[in-house]
Structure 1
Amino acid sequence: MTRDPRIDAYIEARADFAKPILAWLRDRVHAACPDVVEAIKWSSPFFDYKGKPLANMAAFKTHAAFGFWSRQELATGKEGEAMGQYGRIASLDDLPSAGEIEAQVKSAMALIDSGAKSPRAGKPPKPEAEVPPELAEALAADDAAAATFNAFPPGCRREYCEWIAEAKRPETKAKRVAEAVGWMREGKRRNWKYEAC
């Protein structure tokens, strides 16, 4: 059972209310996971298992926090109240029993052992760009530029549309439309100057 002296120092430097909380949580992690490796990451104590983050804890002015790296899979119902899964921990009474915490540590270990990756919330696709009327009119008059524009992926079309739409003065907008149509006639994307050859 390896204990990192930096975590000893971290606990010792915290407020008196937090010391027993952090020490108790640390003991629960070690009891459930004898192979745990302690570390300091982002200025807080971390517990790693098989080279992967397992859990972390921290202490603040009025509360402590503890959480598992696989937050979605090990939800406790107090997510969002503070860092971690147990909300604001002001005393040991705010935590589940030793058996419950240790069971959750073992569940977190099982997730790491299974190789399961935490699902990331996917970003919804951006809506299709609204084509500025000036650009729509210019494309209607130029079949080659229109064909290129329509063949672009949505992100490329959006770059042209946003670039033209953000122009404040009519002269600037007209200049950008003319440049855009010329570039599209040549099959160029909006930021063609920066693309690797």
Structure 2
Amino acid sequence: MEKNSKWLEELELLRSIIRKTELEKTTKWGGEVYTFNKGNVLSIAGFKNYVSLWFFNGVFLKDPFQVLGNSQEGKTKALRYWQFTSLDEMEEEKILQYIQEAIENEKKGLKWKAEKSSDLEIPEIFSNYLTADKSLKSTFENLTPFKQKEYIEYISSAKRDATKVSRIEKIIPMILEGIGLNDKYRK
């Protein structure tokens, strides 16, 4: 059963177009994902107000019809989407052109490389904790850059100092155990 039965015809049209390609259907993150040689190429989904076709490495698509969007400018780097609000907007030839280009890009190995940032700016309030506790500082410095960044972003995203202090006190035991902020959610 579709999560949103409003878009049954539109989703079925997208599936019929995708079946004309060499993509393989799988389920990831609770949704339909289509892969080539196990590489994620695209996904489709129905939402409240539209149906969307997502290209995982859409940043590399030429987009001749200027239909692709970026869900979070400045944050989302590679993912691009194409939204439809009716069957009338869905032109098979154009959709197939984008899908074929996405498959060719996957065959070429075009993948967005995440930017490595070694310049982690530790908030002053957290820096004070690290200075006061050498064990905490040593353990934090031995975490992977990814885990360090998770903690720093968690602290920095708080607006009030009181919230930052509360978050720091919450994560200190986790840091001392050498675990990442979101490790419990990873397999």
> Is the 2:49–2:85 contact (alpha carbons within 8 Å) kept by the matching residues of 1?
yes
Q: Does the 8 Å contact 1:44/1:58 carry over to 2?
A: yes
Distance 2:55 2:130 in 1: 46
Counterpart code for 2:138: R
Q: 3-state DSSP class of the match of 1:72?
A: helix
Letter in 2 for 1:86: W
CA distance in 1, matches of 2:123, 2:49: 47
Match status 1:108 vs 2:77: no
Please tell me whether residue 86 in structure 1 is matched to residue 85 in structure 2: no
Amino acid at match of 2:53: F
State the Cα deviation string for residues 108-144 of structure 1 (Å, max 9, x = none): 11111112222324547234886x9xxxxxxxxxxxx
Q: Cα distance 1:124–1:72, how it changes in 2: closer, same or farther (>3 A)?
A: farther
Counterpart of 1:162 in structure 2 is 128
Cα distance in 1 for partners of 2:177, 2:31 equals 41
TM-score under structure 1 normalisation? 0.53
Give the aligned CA root-mean-square deviation in angstroms: 3.5
Take 2:30 and 2:177, find their aligned partners in 1: how far apart are those partners?
A: 39
Q: How many Å apart are 1:53 and its aligned residue?
A: 1.2
Contact 1:65–1:84 (8 Å) recurs in 2: no
Rounded Cα–Cα distance in structure 1 between residues aligned with 2:31 and 2:45: 6
What CA distance in whole angstroms lies between the structure 2 residues aligned with 1:40 and 1:164?
A: 43
1:25/1:84 CA distance change after superposition, 3 Å: farther
Structure 1 residue 24: Cα displacement: 0.8
Residue 61, structure 1, aligned to residue 48, structure 2: yes
CA contact (8 A) 1:37 1:47 kept: yes
1:151 corresponds to: none
TM-score relative to the length of structure 2: 0.56
Superimposed CA distance per residue, residues 7-41 of structure 1 (whole angstroms, 9 cap, x where no aligned partner): xx44xx6424x01110111111122x1x2211122
Distance 1:38 1:92, change over 3 A: same
Q: Which sections of structure 2, spanning at least 5 residues, go unmatched?
A: 73-78, 143-175, 179-187
Q: Structure 2 CA distance, aligned partners of 1:102 and 1:47? A: 14
Contact conserved, 2:57 with 2:110, CA < 8 A, in 1? no
Give the Cα–Cα distance (whole angstroms) in 1 for the partners of residues 85 and 123 of structure 2: 49
Deviation at 1:84, TM superposition (A): 5.2
**Could you say what secondary structure the match of 1:62 adopts?**
coil
- Equivalent in the alignment of 2:11: 22
Matches of 1:42 and 1:129, distance apart in 2 = 33
Distance 1:129 1:61, change over 3 A: closer
Identical positions, percent: 14
Provide the aligned length of Structure 1 versus Structure 2: 133
Q: Name the CA distance, whole Å, in 2 between partners of 1:41 and 1:100.
A: 26
Cα distance, 1:59 vs. partner? 1.2
Quote the offset at 1:80 in angstroms. 2.1
* CA deviation vs aligned residue, 1:58-93 (integer Å, no higher than 9, x gap): 112332211111121126443228x95113x22123
Larger radius of gyration: 1
Could you tell me which runs of 5 or more consecutive residues in structure 1 were left unpaired when the two chains were aligned: 1-8, 133-158, 166-175, 184-188
